[in-house]
């Protein structure tokens, strides 16, 4: 049984752009939570005199947005780890807007973005596989025509001359391109 070329075509035109948009949306969601939490933690660290921590967690939106795909995960994870480590011992972090709920949201945004990072590449591979299947299905169909149906059509030519003429005409491939 031949693969259905229409189903392959649907897979071929799967949402590569949609995967890219989903990845970008997940990245922006990550930045929307990680950057303010990092800035608040950096402000708290500066007030407390921990400039090393402040420099590790204070990042601009541009730092997150312009970084390579995996870098925002590392930056956000650093913010999450540092804030989580200090949250139980430092109730003053709540004054800076850092609480367990916000850190849970950050953790979820990190996980979501990590899941989205590889989706565009996976969609490209899916499209490539579907294209290869289309080529193979047309090659198989052509082989069936040449090896099975063309010989049968020539057997029928004696009894159905009009059919034989129509068969030969439809088997000629015209390049209209």
Q: pLDDT tier at 80 (50, 70, 90 boundaries)?
A: very high
Per-residue pLDDT of 126-154, as tens digits, reads 788 877 887 888 888 888 888 888 888 88
Shared domain check, 113 and 138: no
Structure tokens at 131: 């294209």
Q: Cβ distance 103 to 41 under 8 Å?
A: no
Number of separate domains in the chain? 2
pLDDT at 126: 79
Under the phi-then-psi rule, with left for phi > 0, alpha for psi from -120 to 50, and beta for the rest, what region is 67?
beta
With H, G, I as helix, E, B as strand and everything else as coil, classify residue 169.
helix
Instruction: With CA atoms as reference, report the closest residue to 77 among 102, 110, 53.
Output: 110
Shared domain check, 155 and 115: no
User: Which one of 1-10, 70-79, 120-129 scores highest in mean pLDDT?
Assistant: 70-79
pLDDT at 98: 95
**Residue 176 maps to a domain:** no
Shared domain check, 105 and 38: yes
- What domain range includes position 140? 131-171
The predicted model scores a pTM of 0.67
Looking at 77, 98, 120, the residue that finishes a domain is: 120
Per-residue pLDDT of 153-168, as tens digits, reads 888 877 888 888 888 8
Helices (H), 88-149: 100-117, 119-144
């Amino acid at each position: 049984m031949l693969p259905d070329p229409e189903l392959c075509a649907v897979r071929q035109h799967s949402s590569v752009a949609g995967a890219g948009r989903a990845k970008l949306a997940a990245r922006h969601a990550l930045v929307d939570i990680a950057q303010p939490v990092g800035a608040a933690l950096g402000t708290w660290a500066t007030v407390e005199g921990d400039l090393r921590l402040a420099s590790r967690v204070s990042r601009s939106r541009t730092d997150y947005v312009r970084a390579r795909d995996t870098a925002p995960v590392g930056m956000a994870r650093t913010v999450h780890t540092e804030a989580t480590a200090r949250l139980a011992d430092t109730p003053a972090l709540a004054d800076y807007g850092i609480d367990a709920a916000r850190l849970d949201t950050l953790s979820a945004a990190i996980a979501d973005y990590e899941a989205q990072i590889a989706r565009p590449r996976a969609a490209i591979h899916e499209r490539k596989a579907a294209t290869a299947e289309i080529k193979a299905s047309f090659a198989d169909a052509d082989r069936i025509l040449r090896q099975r149906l063309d010989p049968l059509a020539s057997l029928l030519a004696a009894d159905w001359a009009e059919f034989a003429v129509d068969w030969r005409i439809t088997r000629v491939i015209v390049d209209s391109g």
